[in-house]
Copies of this chain bind each other. A is one copy, B any other.
Amino acid sequence: MNLIEKARTNKVSKEVEIVAKDESKEPSFILAGIASGRIVIPKNINRKLRKPCGIGEGLKTKINTNVGTSKDSSNIAKEAEKTKIAVELGSDAIMDLSTGPGITQTRRKILEASSVPVGTVPIYEIVITGVEKFGSVKKIPAEFMFDILEEQAADGVDFFTIHAGVTRNAVKMLAKKGRVLDIVSRGGALIAEWMVGNNRENPFYEKFDKVLDIAKRYDITLSLGDGLRPGSVADATDAPQISELITLGELQKVSLKDGVQVMIEGPGHVPINEIEANVLLEKAICNRAPFYVLGPLVTDVAPGYDHITAAIGGAIAASKGADFLCYVTPAEHLRLPTLDDVKEGVIATRIAAHAADIAKGVKGAIDWDIAISKARKARDWEKQFKLAIDKEKPRKYREASKPGAEDVCTMCGEYCSIKISEKCLKKVAL
């Protein structure tokens, strides 16, 4: 029995137990969420997963870190190190997006390095090994695609991004419409290349039952990819995007019925005033399935700072109901991220997720803020560092600029508002 089947028969598995405890919820709440498709716990039957997590309605907002090689920047050990650091900094999941040499070996290293669920985008390996074997993207047989899915599943991958919503109709709609930026999803573009080259329907859509068969056997969670997500705020919430979302909603329903857990991926680049509508649309059209958002980036003008444009969008999206934030680093649009980029990306995304959890009213979320603010009131710097989302940077900042008095900082010195008001408020006659 897989997780959905267990949930439907009220069997509390080990993962459900862990998640329920982590979320301060009853196991019955988690089971009901899984059975109805509103919560997923990504976990492959072949994998020993030390830290499973629940993603979805009523739970804490989770974050994902992308790692992986590219042809131009390929160092497997470095990607394994990024994985470890990301998990240490609080990432709830890892995606291996490798497209460099030794893709199988890389995946296995990352699976090994990660104590949290690992996802992949199988179309990358399909294209890379497929082009080697068959000569071009166009010539890759559909059957080969499912062979790769099977291979990755057997390796223990916990969730797959499958761009099944990039249908012929949707691609036509997009080509006809004309966007500022057409397809900005790597997986979406690759599958479109295959479809247009062969003048055929998307195999992941046409033979979705094959995808489901594999997912079901390994109990893999599907993350239905948004291959047509907007890559400029000017393209957001357009017909191709929403048309794809409608297809994903249909596929989610089929999957759930078949006992396969599903998340829905979302945009992309979206102006602030359209974010709430995007969350509402996903929840309404996709039967309240967990919403996994990439950003959204709220402006296109800030290369070098897209961890910030994405933190703004992610915080808003999650506060309105998005469940899972994919991190974005300062390197987005510019290069494969370094270890430092990864760190900055994870911290910015955790800030967004936590700020959203306060807004969502997640039980206990604000207690962290109260604890650090009490330490701030007491000018207990060690405690502030210990409680800070990044325990190192604040200490370095403070040590680089020593105040005259131990308990204040060099911003205000003796004119520390907290110190002054502490003294004077005691004397207020009430």
Q: Which of A174, A300, A401 has the most CB of B within 10 A?
A: A300
In residues 205-231 of chain A, which contact B (Cβ within 8 Å)?
231
Q: A72-B403, A189-B420, A333-B376 are in contact. Are A299 and B369 (CB under 8 A)?
A: yes
Q: A309-B351, A412-B186, A430-B172 are in contact. Are A319 and B272 (CB under 8 A)?
A: yes
A: residues with CB less than 8 A from B are: 70-73, 99, 124, 127, 171-172, 174-176, 180-186, 188-190, 192-193, 196-197, 199, 231-234, 271-273, 298-305, 307-309, 311-312, 315-316, 319, 330-338, 347-348, 351-352, 354-356, 358-361, 366, 368-370, 372-374, 376-377, 384, 387-390, 393-394, 397-398, 400-404, 409-418, 420-425, 427-430
Interchain nearest-CB distance for A112 vs B (Å):
24
Contact A373 B428 (CB under 8 A): no
Closest to A304 in B: B393
Contact A428 B175 (CB under 8 A): yes
Closest to A73 in B: B410
Q: In the complex, what residues of B have CB within 8 A of residue A308's CB?
A: 307-308, 311, 348, 351
Whole-angstrom CA separation of A308 from B345 in the bound complex: 11
Closest to A168 in B: B428
Q: In the complex, what residues of B have CB within 8 A of residue A410's CB?
A: 70, 72-73, 335-336
**Other than the known A172-B428, A182-B377, A184-B418, what 4 A-B pairs have Cβ atoms closer than 8 Å?**
A305-B390, A308-B348, A334-B394, A334-B398
Interchain nearest-CB distance for A420 vs B (Å):
4
Contact A334 B373 (CB under 8 A): no
Interchain nearest-CB distance for A40 vs B (Å):
25
Q: In the complex, what residues of B have CB within 8 A of residue A421's CB?
A: 182-184, 188-189, 192-193
Contact B72 A404 (CB under 8 A): yes
Q: In the complex, what residues of B have CB within 8 A of residue A400's CB?
A: 335, 338
Whole-angstrom CA separation of A303 from B388 in the bound complex: 6
A–B complex contacts, Cβ < 8 Å, 21 sampled: A72-B413, A127-B415, A171-B428, A180-B374, A186-B415, A189-B417, A189-B420, A199-B429, A234-B366, A234-B373, A271-B366, A272-B319, A298-B355, A300-B369, A303-B394, A304-B394, A304-B397, A308-B351, A311-B312, A333-B376, A336-B401
Contact B70 A299 (CB under 8 A): no
Q: In the complex, what residues of B have CB within 8 A of residue A189's CB?
A: 415, 417-418, 420-421, 424
Specify which of B300, B304, B369, B424 is in contact with A233 (CB 8 Å cutoff). Answer: B369
Closest to A100 in B: B413
Contact A196 B428 (CB under 8 A): yes
Contact B305 A351 (CB under 8 A): yes
Q: A389-B305, A417-B185 are in contact. Are A351 and B425 (CB under 8 A)?
A: no
Specify which of B193, B388, B425 is in contact with A175 (CB 8 Å cutoff). Answer: B425
Q: A304-B390, A359-B271 are in contact. Are A180 and B312 (CB under 8 A)?
A: no
Specify which of B233, B315, B354 is in contact with A301 (CB 8 Å cutoff). Answer: B354
Contact B232 A373 (CB under 8 A): yes
Contact B182 A418 (CB under 8 A): yes
Q: In the complex, what residues of B have CB within 8 A of residue A422's CB?
A: 182
Contact A272 B355 (CB under 8 A): yes
Q: In the complex, what residues of B have CB within 8 A of residue A72's CB?
A: 401-404, 410, 413
Whole-angstrom CA separation of A89 from B275 in the bound complex: 28
Specify which of B174, B302, B333, B348 is in contact with A389 (CB 8 Å cutoff). Answer: B302
Q: In the complex, what residues of B have CB within 8 A of residue A273's CB?
A: 319, 358-361
Q: In the complex, what residues of B have CB within 8 A of residue A388's CB?
A: 301-304
Closest to A384 in B: B303
Interchain nearest-CB distance for A195 vs B (Å):
8
Contact A358 B430 (CB under 8 A): no
